[in-house]
Chain A
Amino acid sequence: MALRVNSENFESEVLKSELPVLADFYSDSCVPCKRLSPIISQLESERSDSLKVVKVNINFDTELAEKYEVQAAPTLIYFKNGEETARLRGAVKKAEIEEILI
């Protein structure tokens, strides 16, 4: 189960994480977010050794959404060593996510 993060623990959980992190910026009752969710869970269990997955609920954590200029839900941001290396928007397919997880 992916960890919910907020602006308080974002630095320690995401930016300073040893493993690369896939952050799922989602909003409540957003249909594409609901469709994407099971795919994210699959990736999380398939890659538990090499990937950390976190979730940001933008209904509550607007600060993080603003900071990373996220304006569409869902948005996936891939962080490596604290740096954003890729970003995907919308209910993308599993293969498209796998492509950015390098």
Chain B
Amino acid sequence: MSKMYDTIIIGSGSAGLSAAVYAKRAVLDFIVIEKEYMGTGQIAESGRVDNYLGLYGENGFDLGEKFREHAEALGTEFLESEVISIVKDGNAYKIALSDNSDILTKSIVFATGANPRKLSIKGEEEFSGKGVSYCAVCDGAFYKDKVTAVVGGGDTALEDALLLSKICKKVYLVHRRDEFRANKALQNTVKNTENIELVLNAKPAEIIGDKKVTALKIMQNDEEKTLQLDGVFAAVGTVPNSKLLNGIAELDGNGYVIADETGATSAEGIFAAGDVRTKQLRQVSTAVADGANCIFSIEKYLSNV
């Protein structure tokens, strides 16, 4: 008979790493499965994190590394692999991995997070990596003295616009509403930056180019306009990585796994943590709290199985 784990943590972002720390302290038999090599989730992409208590001004990548080091220091074992499917197997779950191996576990911490949302417009796929980017920090330098657009209205979009304004000749900030969701401090800085032009009430319609991107077609107040530019950065939020739970646990209309603070999903033994679950605020602080809560719930669950 193959080994049965107490729990398997899927995902190594803030939620998964926090769950690992709590699971070690609870002396559970578990491993963390991660898709990415040495991953720490979306926090790594953040330039500067100013709202995580006690670590003011830390950059996102370093903060993620600290979380990981903490989990490693307690002896957490990581497995780099992709989960292909989760199937109920009596009182337990069978997790199938991309290398054709299986893992048996009594419970699961589902902390798969979220990925950048696509614009879903014509030309996006074709020019991805040739003028369409989802990471201003990574690709901004390719647009020195050029013209770019950022699409979106949240913190990430405005941070990206600011970053690009220091590299590019001009940055259009294209947003579908006339107000931003981003925090007020960020909005003020953006509005006071000379080479950022706000393009409000505007939806992107098509990315145009030949070998590379040359323009972005938009619909502004029902009028079609074309912005001549060299690059488009999409920052229109995220989509939850919840596909694996399709048909196993209940998801909401946007694909988030329905779970409250305890992490309990509609599937017995599966607990959701971090950005993938339904919640009001998706931040490092709430992801870390979720990881802790899930392990507490799992300890209770295991004592009853």
Question: Residues on A close to B: CB < 8 A?
Answer: 27-35, 38-39, 58-59, 62, 65, 69-74, 89-91, 93-94
Q: CB-defined interface of B108-150 with A at 8 Å, one 1/0 digit per residue?
A: 0000000000000000000001110101011111101000000
Residues of B within 8 A of A39 (CB): 37
Residues of A within 8 A of B78 (CB): none
B135, chain A: closest CB distance, angstroms: 7
> Within the assembled complex, what's the spacing in Å between the Cα atoms of A59 and B211?
22
In the complex, residue of chain B having the shortest beta-carbon distance to the beta carbon of A93? B37
> Within the assembled complex, what's the spacing in Å between the Cα atoms of A57 and B268?
49
The answer, among A35, A38, A70, for a CB contact under 8 Å with B36, is A35
Residues of B within 8 A of A72 (CB): 129-130, 133, 138-139, 142
Stretch at the interface among B38-46, B50-58, B241-249: B38-46
Top 4 closest pairs, chain A to chain B, by CB:
A30-B138, A72-B129, A31-B44, A59-B141
Question: Judging by beta carbons under 8 Å apart, are A71 and B37 in contact?
Answer: no
Residue B212 is within 8 A (CB to CB) of chain A in the complex: yes
Question: Judging by beta carbons under 8 Å apart, are A32 and B211 in contact?
Answer: no
Contacts A31-B137, A71-B130, A72-B129: A62 and B37 contacting too (C-beta < 8 A)?
no
For this complex, 23 residue pairs linking A to B, each with C-beta atoms less than 8 Å apart, are: A27-B137, A30-B135, A30-B138, A30-B139, A31-B44, A31-B61, A31-B135, A31-B137, A32-B135, A35-B37, A35-B39, A58-B141, A58-B142, A62-B141, A69-B211, A71-B142, A71-B212, A72-B129, A72-B133, A72-B139, A73-B142, A90-B129, A91-B37
> Within the assembled complex, what's the spacing in Å between the Cα atoms of A72 and B135?
9
> Within the assembled complex, what's the spacing in Å between the Cα atoms of A31 and B36?
12
Residues of A within 8 A of B59 (CB): 29
In the complex, residue of chain A having the shortest beta-carbon distance to the beta carbon of B133? A72
- Taking residues whose C-beta sits less than 8 angstroms from the other chain, chain B's interface range is 20 to 34
> Within the assembled complex, what's the spacing in Å between the Cα atoms of A69 and B45?
24
> Within the assembled complex, what's the spacing in Å between the Cα atoms of A91 and B129?
13
Question: Judging by beta carbons under 8 Å apart, are A32 and B138 in contact?
Answer: yes
Complex interface residues of chain B between 9 and 49 (CB less than 8 A to chain A): 36-39, 44-45, 47
Residues of B within 8 A of A91 (CB): 36-37
Question: Judging by beta carbons under 8 Å apart, are A71 and B211 in contact?
Answer: no
> Within the assembled complex, what's the spacing in Å between the Cα atoms of A41 and B141?
24
Residues of A within 8 A of B133 (CB): 71-72
> Within the assembled complex, what's the spacing in Å between the Cα atoms of A31 and B37?
12
> Within the assembled complex, what's the spacing in Å between the Cα atoms of A71 and B142?
6
The answer, among A28, A65, A93, A94, for a CB contact under 8 Å with B142, is A65
> Within the assembled complex, what's the spacing in Å between the Cα atoms of A35 and B135?
15
Question: Judging by beta carbons under 8 Å apart, are B137 and A30 in contact?
Answer: yes
Not counting A39-B37, A62-B144, A72-B138, a sample of 11 additional A-B residue pairs whose C-beta atoms are within 8 angstroms of each other reads: A27-B138, A27-B141, A28-B141, A29-B47, A30-B138, A32-B135, A32-B138, A65-B142, A69-B211, A71-B133, A71-B142
The answer, among B138, B140, B142, B144, for a CB contact under 8 Å with A31, is B138
Contacts A33-B138, A35-B38: A71 and B61 contacting too (C-beta < 8 A)?
no
Residues of B within 8 A of A89 (CB): 129
Residues of B within 8 A of A70 (CB): 142
Question: Judging by beta carbons under 8 Å apart, are A73 and B211 in contact?
Answer: no
> Within the assembled complex, what's the spacing in Å between the Cα atoms of A74 and B212?
18
A73, chain B: closest CB distance, angstroms: 5
A30, chain B: closest CB distance, angstroms: 4
> Within the assembled complex, what's the spacing in Å between the Cα atoms of A59 and B38?
25
> Within the assembled complex, what's the spacing in Å between the Cα atoms of A71 and B209?
14
